[in-house]
Amino acid sequence: MHKPSDIRYIIAGPARSGTTITHLAIMGHPNACALNDEINVYPFFYKGFATFTSGAEKEKEKDEGLSILFNALTTVYRADKTIAHGMKTTVQSIDAANVFVEALKIKLKDVKIILTARNDIVAVCLLKVSTYYRKISFMDKN
């Protein structure tokens, strides 16, 4: 259960930019808890409750749904000593991360955003290779 005094956070950044190591470091703190797995930006952050329903939610559900879902997912492992809870997600590029952050500032105003970025040649190449193999993997499933 979320307490109003809790610090809520989201770690966001492109793949291979340090989101996982940042996530693991925070999860290792005795006063933090987090969803173990990564949340997909779409549909969770775009649809909110409509991710799980037929999309006929009321205005209040649209306004507050994402925050309620965020709290439900990130406090699964909450203990009495927990003062911070959050999650991680990855986006396709640093530009997409910046757009995502601006949207979060509107939808989840009190959530702290940890944005990771890595711009060296190794990270850029690894991102291109992993994106290529994800596309091939997706095509094989269809």
Q: Which residues contact 66 (CB under 8 A, 6 or more apart)?
A: 45, 48, 107, 108
Residue 45 lies in a domain: yes
Residue 136 lies in a domain: yes
What does the pLDDT read at residue 119? 73
Residue 73 lies in a domain: yes
Q: Which residues contact 16 (CB under 8 A, 6 or more apart)?
A: 118, 123, 126, 127, 130
What does the pLDDT read at residue 124? 67
Question: For residue 119, what are the domain limits?
Answer: 7-141
Write the DSSP assignment of 30-68 as a string of letters: TTEEE-SSPPPHHHHHHHGGGGTS-S---HHHHHHHHHH
What does the pLDDT read at residue 117? 85
What does the pLDDT read at residue 82? 95
Residue 15 lies in a domain: yes
What does the pLDDT read at residue 138? 45
Q: Which portions of the chain are predicted below pLDDT 50? A: 137-139
Residue 1 lies in a domain: no
Q: What is the Cα–Cα distance from 69 to 92, expressed in whole angstroms?
A: 23
Q: Which residues contact 28 (CB under 8 A, 6 or more apart)?
A: none
Residue 113 lies in a domain: yes
Q: What's the domain count of the chain?
A: 1
Residue 2 lies in a domain: no
Q: What is the Cα–Cα distance from 65 to 21, expressed in whole angstroms?
A: 29
30: its two tokens = 């005795």
Residue 25 lies in a domain: yes
Q: Which residue, 73, 51, 71, is CA-closest to 62?
A: 51
